[in-house]
Structure 1
Amino acid sequence: MKNFLHTSAVLIFLLTACNLPSSPTVDTPVEPTSVPPTALPTNTAANPTPAPPTETSVPPTVTPTSTNTPIPVVESLDATVTADLLSCRYGPGAEYLYLYGLKKGANIQLIGRTDGNNWVMVKGKNLCWLNAKFVEIKGDPQTLRVTYPSEYRLPVSPYYTGPTVLSATRNPNNPNEVTVKWTDITLRAGDEEDENMFIYIIEVWRCEGSKTVFDPLASNYPEVTFIDEAGCDIPSHGRVFFQEKHGFAGPADIPWPED
């Protein structure tokens, strides 16, 4: 296990489908926290349900929990890649398994987004996800339909079973600090996408500044710590996946601790 955690800038301590090719690209890494982080995958995973291209790890984008004026929804938006080489991943974050890379100037069509960060889904034979920061979009990406996680499933690993969450607690001295622990799983030799791959993906929809943030964290250890404040209309929630080069095992839902 690598003793390193990869996570977003907003986190406090966080540990943040076969043979896919090595990830190329523009990936903006999240600052690591006190818990050891992990690395990004590079291998072939089982075909997932919709997944768009390219990625780059960037601090999660905060999305308001409520809106007075409904935003119109569009079926798709055209976009052009502006990065020299942009990663397209199986999930909406830089920590997920890599699918393929897009070269600068590539024209793509976006057909979905997450609600809480700036990753968008790319249309194609194999759907994948990329960071909207590295494409020029003809239109407002917020008008795209929210397709994750309701309309998209990560490719399932045929070789592993998922983890079991053991506990989710708040720090008595800092109630906004949540620590989640789960059962450890051993990755067999040869099942890593590359030497930097994280074996755990922790998806959390947490509250920050009265807004809900979707934060995909990554770790090589069966524990992660992050901040979740009070004051959001949408209840915070999350889940834990085990990741290997063929796909994802799980998820295990996190029993969210009370504020």
Structure 2
Amino acid sequence: MKKLFYFLIAASFLFSACNLPGSGSPSPSVATAAALTVQAALDDPSPLASPTAANNSSGASTSAASSNPFASFEDVTNCRTGPGVNYELVTQIQPGFSVEIVGYYPPSHWLVSTDAGPCWVAGEFVTPSGSVSAIPTVTAPPTPKANAPENVSLQKWDIFCDYATNEADVTLSWSDKEDETGYRVVRNDVVIAELSANTTQFKEKITLLSGQTAGYSIIAYNTAGSNSSKTIVLGC
């Protein structure tokens, strides 16, 4: 199209020159210029660019970007150096934020890219979007060596004795520890309850006659070991 356009312009110019009043034929310079213009148009190998080429390229890029897999979150979510609570915390992803998913670790962890670096989130907290099927499966880093929780520190203990029924209401409170799997409540050297991680209180009603006592302690434990609070003695 470009070549034809230049050819028509040159031909038109030549034709006009031929029909100028008082002129039987175009001047040599005009004819030469027109011929050179036509020849240049015919010799030009450059194709005419499509007027939608730039738009098509931009659209393809946008489509590719929109298909990237992303993870969004409804709650504050811990992102760690590996797939599990035994790994160190890297950052916390806030609700409403989205981060790119770069890997999957079966059965339920995602490796994501954040401003703090790549880290792992549990799948139960993630809403994935985009081309999830294209996400590569990755290998988890070695599990860090765990340490047993520090000794539990009892913060408060209460006992209410009902002498009419010989029953006592016991309440124990303590500060939460790091990296514990759970807690065990010990009464008179016998484990009487298993509690989940992050628990900080235990209550029970026991039979306790006037003059009797009961000794309590709290054990924090994980796969590496356990540690116990001091034993407190309560009586009616």
Q: TM range, normalised to the smaller chain?
A: 0.3 to 0.5
Give me the TM-score of the superposition, normalised by structure 2.
0.33
Q: Which has the larger radius of gyration?
A: 2
More helix by share: 2
User: Which structure's relative contact order is higher, taking Cα pairs within 8 Å and 6+ residues apart?
Assistant: 1
